[in-house]
Amino acid sequence: MKNNTLPLSLYIHIPWCIKKCFYCDFHSFVKKDTINEKKYINHLLKDLSNDIKYIQLRTIHSIFIGGGTPSLFSSHSINFLIQEIKKRIPTNSQLEITIESNPNSFESNNFYKYKKIGINRLSIGVQTFNMQQLQLLGRTYSSKEANKIIHFANKLHFKCINLDLMHCLPNQSVQQALKDLIQITTICQPQHISWYQLSIEKNTFFYSKNLNLPNENTIFNIINYGEKILKKYGYYKYEISSYSKIGYQCQHNLNYWRFGDYIGIGCGAHGKITTKQGEIIRTVKSKKITDFINGKYLHNLQKIKKNEQALEFFMNRFRLIEPTPKKDLYKYTQLTEQTIQPKIQQAISEGFLKETKKYWETTSKGKNFLNSLLEIFI
């Protein structure tokens, strides 16, 4: 492979939370006592130094500090981390730096300083403004507190604020789900909204519960009317769950979905890298914090087999609303169009896909039955 020109992002995982929410299976564990932030950050930097080889003369165009609840870390620690990273790897002038936070008062004390140290995208996980539902989800703040903190964050004028909102919650009516959206789009007015349909995941408290989840009809109405509200208030859908004002798409997540490269550091972080030889590898870092802080950073490194690369590429690409440029298949995987032509023709003949000279685009049937479309590429 010639010089690697694929966009490169850096993901940093901070795995601690105040408590484990009943629905969440992201890699996080409850903070038992004071976290030795400096020690963890030193290990993050050592973890990064092992992955420097993957940079291949590129610059980093986005940093995402996710979790867990990264906003449990002080602005001093986050500043030290960002400065040390910048000493080690070139970053581009338009660097997007996101940190995720929960709308708890003590965490919001960090917001002002996060902005001062260069964080330009603040993601706040609200989930809902309905008090009963917040309690049902196991969240640790009130809707009043969430509103106050979003209002406070707005006044700090981050370049972009994202709010995470979930829908199709247990016992949730269409009206309640839409009320959350009206609140967010007309009062909070963030630049970006991530609107997630609740998924019941294994290894979560919810998984073993007999929940009163919305039926198909309610789900259809929530999504159908919800998308109308989002569009009415200027939020354009660019990915299955992602909506933004024009110009505020999340560059980090876009890079994932376009099948770009990203280095993942931290306990449980994953990365996806294209090597000089044109191989595509996935890295998974140790999920056990004891392993990670004993210097066992890398848990697993796996090459994506050639015959799985088209599926991996389209699994990411077809999440996006934008059409897929045909030239990107070779750019991101080194696969030629010829190698996948029969499957493309099958997807077109089954009504999931349409094509022009330069693009492939999912039809509404393809968007609504994405898994059936992707099965063609297995």
In the bound state with ligand SAM, the residue whose beta carbon lies nearer, of 77 and 344, is 77
In the bound state with ligand SAM, the residue whose beta carbon lies nearer, of 190 and 366, is 190
In whole angstroms, what is the distance from residue 262 CA to residue 9 CA? 4
In the bound state with ligand SAM, the residue whose beta carbon lies nearer, of 67 and 353, is 67
In whole angstroms, what is the distance from residue 297 CA to residue 300 CA? 9
In the bound state with ligand SAM, the residue whose beta carbon lies nearer, of 13 and 317, is 13
In whole angstroms, what is the distance from residue 62 CA to residue 92 CA? 8
Closest by CA position to 184, among listed 138, 224, 244: 244
In the bound state with ligand SAM, the residue whose beta carbon lies nearer, of 266 and 366, is 266
Least separation in angstroms between CB 178 and ligand SF4: 22
Q: What angle do CA 110, 115, 116 make, to 5 degrees?
A: 100
In whole angstroms, what is the distance from residue 336 CA to residue 218 CA? 43
In the bound state with ligand SF4, the residue whose beta carbon lies nearer, of 153 and 273, is 153
In whole angstroms, what is the distance from residue 356 CA to residue 353 CA? 10
98 binds, among ligand SAM, ligand SF4, none (CB under 5 to 8 A by kind): ligand SAM
Least separation in angstroms between CB 19 and ligand SAM: 10
In the bound state with ligand SAM, the residue whose beta carbon lies nearer, of 102 and 133, is 102
Cβ atoms of 271 and 262 closer than 8 Å: yes
* Residues at the site binding ligand SF4, with contacts judged by CB under 6 A: 17, 20-21, 24, 26, 28, 67-69, 102, 125
Least separation in angstroms between CB 19 and ligand SF4: 7
Cβ atoms of 371 and 377 closer than 8 Å: no
In whole angstroms, what is the distance from residue 101 CA to residue 94 CA? 22
* Two tokens, residue 307: 């015959």
Least separation in angstroms between CB 33 and ligand SF4: 17
Residue nearest to ligand SAM (CB): 125
In whole angstroms, what is the distance from residue 236 CA to residue 232 CA? 9
Least separation in angstroms between CB 129 and ligand SF4: 16
* Residues at the site binding ligand SAM, with contacts judged by CB under 6 A: 11, 13, 23-24, 26, 66-67, 69, 98, 100, 102, 123, 125, 127, 162, 164, 166, 194, 196, 198-199, 201, 250, 253, 262, 264, 268-270
Q: What angle do CA 141, 75, 11 make, to 5 degrees?
A: 85
Least separation in angstroms between CB 250 and ligand SAM: 5
Tell the burial category of 50 from Cβ atoms under 10 Å away from its Cβ (0-12, 13-18, 19+).
middle
Cβ atoms of 285 and 14 closer than 8 Å: no
Least separation in angstroms between CB 127 and ligand SAM: 6
